[in-house]
Amino acid sequence: QVQLVESGGGLVQAGGSLRLSCAASTNIFSLNAMGWYRQAPGKQRELVALVRTSGIINYAEPVKGRFTISRDAAKNTVYLQMNDLKPEDTAVYYCLASHTVANYWGQGTQVTVSS
């Protein structure tokens, strides 16, 4: 069982920035990948960014060039730096830890971008 604790959401104006954090209860390099998903009201959960143990990173097209995923091995933490935020980025953001036997999700953190 992997526990994930997210923080950093909030309300920001369009063009602003936020940084999300996700602290894992295990060595993040024992996982296949960690990443961020988001779910807006009435929509399906979608991938935002994913970093594999190898270091390969994938971003969703809408966030390329604006969001950056990174990790701190010493803190077992993954971050999502979000710049130039837009109203369409408004959603609940969920941290994902992908393990060989299961995927684990954080509780979610709300990001609201006002126009």
Query: Which 8-state DSSP code applies to residue 4?
Result: E
Average confidence (pLDDT) over 82-108: 96
pLDDT at 39 over 90: yes
> 18-24 and 77-82 as β-strands: parallel, antiparallel, unpaired?
antiparallel
Average confidence (pLDDT) over 10-19: 98
pLDDT at 17 over 90: yes
pLDDT digits (tens, 9 = 90+) for 57-94: 999 999 999 999 999 999 999 999 999 999 999 999 99
Residue 107 CA to residue 114 CA, distance in Å, equals: 23
Considering only CA atoms, which of 44, 14, 27, 114 is closest in space to residue 78?
27
40 with 91: CB under 8 angstroms? yes
Please tell me the predicted confidence (pLDDT) of residue 84: 98
pLDDT at 9 over 90: yes
Dmax of the chain from CA atoms?
42
Task: Dihedral sign for Cα 83, 86, 87, 89, please.
Answer: negative
81 with 90: CB under 8 angstroms? no
Please tell me the predicted confidence (pLDDT) of residue 101: 87
